[in-house]
Chains A and B, each alone.
Chain A
Amino acid sequence: MEQGAAVQAAAPPAPPTVPAESPGDWIRKNLFSSVGNSIVTVLFVLIGYAALRWLVGLVLDEERNWAAVWTNMRLLFSYTYPADQYIRIWVSLGLTLLMVGLTLGAFASQVRLSLGGLLTRIGAAGLALLVLAIVHMVDLFGLTFHSPERPVVVMLVVGAILAAIGFGGRQAVGAGSDDERTVPLFAVVAGGALAFVLFLWLVPFGRYEAIGGDVIAEPGTVNFTTKFPWTIMMALLVGGYLAGLAARAITGSTAFRLFLGLWWVAGPAFLVFLVLRDPEFDWAHIWSTDLPMALGFAIGGGALLYFLSAPGRGEVARIAGAVLLLYAAFNWLAAFGDLNLPGLGTINWQWYPFASPPAGVEGTSMLQKARISFLLLALVALIAPNFAGELRTRLRFVGAWAGFMLLMHWLITGINTPSTVQVVQPPFLGGFALTLVIAYYVMLASFPVGMMMALARTSKMPIFRVLATGYIEFVRGVPLITVLFFFANIVNLFLPNGMELSDLGAIFLGYTLFSGAYMAENIRGGLQSIRRGQFEASDALGLTTVQRTAFIVMPQALRVSIPNLVGQAIATFKETSLIAIIGGFDFLRVANQSVPSQPGFLGQNLPALLFISVIYWIISYAMSRGSRSLETRLGVGTR
């Protein structure tokens, strides 16, 4: 599978075959139309030949021990997650794939791909394989010919088969316009899954495994503990897709969208912190403290918000919010313990009951939850009048608050509970899984940061503008690595006693704040594209600033910024690799350090690095293609 992907990476998109033209005409027109054109062609043939030959040589060189990759698949993707608990990884992956399928089935089911284009791509991939194999065999400069080794034979055979399927199929389909014959996305997903499963079960790729320190590399099909779970995973993906198709009738409903949205925000955190991390909950503490507290905030806060969101309570809410905000700020201040104010003496917080954990209660996570919850309650109370309305609107508003509170408390409790997973090194997550999780949540968390900063920077209020501009330009002026160094090394110094950030937490925070500045600039681009009339019309209708922003300005701004936001998502994903430098065992670090330091694979950096390059490439490329099609789809529907 991975090899196939690597080759596809190298395959240039297919030539636009225009039916009326003979190949000879096509070549004459596109390659030798003039003297200059012919020179360019010859030049590029030579450059291309040298480059490809070098590349294939690099991959097939005898010094590259590719078993370093195949035996370390688990290490690369999930680091040292214990084998006896590996089922947790499969459950998480399975759920994720199921939801990917469901989402695709529900929202992308109308997407159809051109059959001709698809076949041409397959054919081109085959052709590229053939070209690579031949380039490797024929030494143009020495005028010699290598007899092919086994991998090259495989390349030749696979290439020939793919080319035959692709171009043959293309002929059979008919050389009409590409748009005429299309296949649904489902067929492509299911076909891909099937091909992958067949590859796992049928192709004698070799059986690779690392048990303890021993490396097993023997002929045969892929290991059973790999191919069996993967078959189930593929089944889940396809099953999810079918379920999504079946659920299409209700995809328009708010509840379904809410469910999916909630899953994609909170689901991965659920998988990481509760399934993968397997926290050892202290149930007595949960029943006695955590749950009552969460319910208190959910219900008490909900009641307050219900009161404040009645029509006509705008001023009451403003005052209540301001009081709460003061209290929340005070709460945070108290967290810092004694404060030395030069010239003013020392402020001692001992008298304040919530400055440190009450007697008999262990840990500070409870106080932390209270501080965060109060702050959120204050902010939500301030904006409550904007979402006031009739009974149903208010109930929905209160419900959202209560749900969010429960979710947040539960997650913070999960994070602060010790893990039972027996790993060699503390972060229970590493390798590709870590890269993916960090990238995903940095993107998600930097979004509100960016939105706030973009709004502040475009605001009419000068102090907000100055603050936001300062933040954004400062962050954009310094390299990510220095920010990460700062957060990994010294951020804990800045925190008061009893508050602490784990290494990954600190990295996550730093990366989010960094990413938020770039996010802000992207969103600002969208904001600036909105015409003044939209603001005026909202004002004239009496919408408040918050309502105007939430209902009119942001939806339009975000739509405009989609290409830039996806670009940034890709950048965020790629730059997660910097974690390797400051000590996290991410995908890159495992490939570049863990694998090449194993006794059997000393110095085998290149195979592992090439392998992860391909994975990085596939994901980034898929994201950029996806965004392009999303753009066209959104562009058509609404404007």
Chain B
Amino acid sequence: MAVIDTTQSVLASSQQRPPIWRNSGVLKWVAQIVVLLLVLGAFWFLGSTAIDGLAAKNLTPSYEFIDGPANIQPSEGIDTAPSSAGRLLWVGMVTTLQVAIVGVILSTILGVLVGLARLSNNWLANRAASFFIETLRNIPVLVQIFLWFYVMSNTLPDLEAGEGRRFFILSQKGVSIPRIFYDDGFYQWLAFIALGIVPIVLARRYFNARQAAQGGQNLAGPATLAILAVFAIVGWFANSVMSFLGGIFGSNETAVDRVNEGGIAGAWQSIPQSLMQLLLTLAVFGLAIGFIIRFLNSRRTPAGLAKLTDDDYFRMIFAVVAAAFMTLVFWVLWPGLSSWIINSGSDFWGWLGDKFGDDRGTRPLDGMLPTVSDGRFANYGPTGATLTVFRAALLVGLVLYTASFIAEIVRGGILAVAKGQTEAAAALGLSRSQALRKVILPQAFRVIMPPLGNQYLNITKNTSLAIAVGLSDVVQVGQSVFNKNGQSLAVFTIWMAFFLACSLTISVIVNFINGRLEIVER
């Protein structure tokens, strides 16, 4: 009994809450909230100083310049006489994306080849690859781009003067080859081919059923191809029957004021702003509540709800706060967002509608030879596909530099896998190349993928060095825009949004591929 007494007295004596300045649970959250407030406060103060300063210079940040005139011509791109500053930025973005995508493809091919050569047991190949890697990756990529630019413009032949069309032109100003491009009827043609889906589905169903019943060869595949071909051929000539779609989608060109666009575009336009705000609010709260319900469900045990920790509460509170904040954004901070969404929706349908119509030509595709006028590549009208020396220097510089990193990644990945697996493969009697193709490469791919994704990100970001050679990518045109109108803050946010979107896309793709690889593995 004495035992129980002492225990009871110990238990009774000390149940009390610690004072808050010693309470680790409280301090932890106080520290976090203080830091959060400091960060938000710093942003707030810095931001308001900047906006005041800009306003004093008559430069209150706004995005209105986007609809204003471009004032600047890009050196090259999908449109060399853009109608608005927004269009100009879009031209720059397309150029950036083009360089990035081509760069990714080429540097991957080259990098894998060099990486394999680096592993080759041929001494010369091995040393040459190692020389390639060690040289190129230790010189700044910007220096390399400049080097290639001057090497090309100093050593390639002059672009012969005079007008003319040729099949292939290599010169100081760049390389040009014949090009195929979409013509007016392209979208109508696509829509016509899309009509073929109905017969294709019917045919597949029929042939699948027949094979199930009678056996024999399944003709579903060939039938699909045949139907597609028929629709493509007929559509080539008859695509103008699809022009009625223009009326359904609406149009941007014919609309005098936005409400008159008609079609789906007009319908979008007539959505009231407050309805859109309401829909957005409902959507974010739906997401937040869905998250909380799913979260609580995951914490539910047969014995009732599990004890929730600070972090668990944080997650739920965070979800609600984020939703509330977004609501504030929709209604107070940036009400324009809703009308922007409405306008863009309408613009999209109008844009699509403009691809159709009776007054358009009906040829889906066309081709063109390289054209020289006034001693330079023609800037206007369809001409050949030209790789200007600016773009070539950027591309070659980026590709070689990135390839040297990819080569090391490939080599490292293969070596990481090869250690144990080569022997296992050899024990199975596979030849060296069989082992490489069937056993090692598929596994190495998983090791290689994440750092490879990083390199893709790097090459995308490094396209911004286009400005060094005067190629009109998004950074270069952005810079010219803010040099003209002083809207540096607005342009800066556009850059950020663009590059963050690119980065996000790349990491989503890489993660997706990685996920697929892991499934295959299991």
Contacts and interface: CB of A to CB of B under 8 A. Distances in A.
A and B touch in the complex (CB under 8 A): yes
Interface of A: 9-10, 12-13, 15, 30-31, 33, 37, 40-41, 44-45, 47-48, 58, 63, 315, 318-319, 329, 333, 336, 339-340, 460-464, 466-467, 474, 476-482, 485-486, 489-490, 493-496, 570, 574-578, 580-581, 588, 592, 605-606, 609-610, 612-613, 616-617, 620-621, 624
Contact of B125 (A40, A333, A485): A40
A462 B146 CA distance: 45
Given A462-B314, A479-B461, A620 B475 contact: no
26 contacts: A31-B123, A33-B121, A40-B120, A44-B122, A315-B21, A336-B45, A340-B52, A460-B311, A462-B32, A462-B315, A467-B36, A474-B500, A476-B503, A480-B461, A481-B465, A482-B496, A485-B479, A485-B492, A486-B488, A486-B492, A494-B50, A574-B141, A576-B140, A580-B468, A613-B139, A620-B137
Q: Which are the 10 A-B pairs with shortest beta-carbon distances?
A: A477-B503, A620-B138, A30-B123, A479-B461, A463-B32, A574-B140, A479-B464, A577-B140, A494-B46, A493-B50
Interface in B86-143: 120-125, 127-128, 130-131, 134-135, 137-143
A494 B49 contact: yes
Given A37-B122, A474-B496, A577-B142, 4 more contacts: A40-B122, A40-B124, A577-B143, A580-B468
Interface of B, helix, strand, loop or mixed by DSSP: helix
A315 B21 CA distance: 8
A259 B28 CA distance: 38
B211 interface: no
A592 B146 contact: yes
Nearest to B129: A44
Nearest to B36: A463
B34 to A, nearest CB: 8
B142 to A, nearest CB: 5
A462 B317 CA distance: 12
Given A12-B130, A63-B154, A588-B142, A461 B467 contact: no
Interface in B152-169: 154-155
Contacts of B479: 485
Interface residues of B, number: 69
A463 B35 contact: yes
Interface of A, helix, strand, loop or mixed by DSSP: helix
A44 B125 contact: yes
A222 to B, nearest CB: 26
Nearest to B96: A479
Contacts of A581: 142, 465, 467-468
B287 interface: no
A351 B75 CA distance: 56
Given A463-B35, A581-B468, A15 B147 contact: no
Q: Could you say which of A336, A461, A463, A570 has the most chain B C-beta atoms within 10 Å of its C-beta?
A: A463
Given A477-B504, A610-B147, A45 B124 contact: yes
B419 interface: no
Contact of A478 (B21, B50, B500): B500
Contacts of B47: 494
Interface of B: 21-22, 28, 31-33, 35-36, 38-39, 45-50, 52-54, 120-125, 127-128, 130-131, 134-135, 137-144, 146-147, 150-151, 154-155, 311, 314-315, 318, 457, 461-462, 464-465, 467-468, 475, 479, 482, 488-489, 492, 495-496, 499-500, 502-504
B138 A606 contact: no
Nearest to B311: A462
Contacts of A495: 46, 49
Contacts of B314: 462-463
Nearest to A32: B122
Contacts of A474: 496, 500
A619 to B, nearest CB: 8
Nearest to A482: B495
Nearest to A335: B45
A573 B442 CA distance: 36
B514 to A, nearest CB: 18
A477 B131 CA distance: 31
A613 B143 contact: yes
A415 B102 CA distance: 46
Contacts of B495: 478, 482
Nearest to B126: A30
A490 B138 contact: no
B124 A41 contact: yes
Contacts of B134: 621
Contact of B128 (A37, A44, A336, A613): A44
B143 A48 contact: no
A616 B140 contact: yes
Nearest to B57: A493
B53 to A, nearest CB: 5
Given A480-B461, A482-B475, A493 B140 contact: no
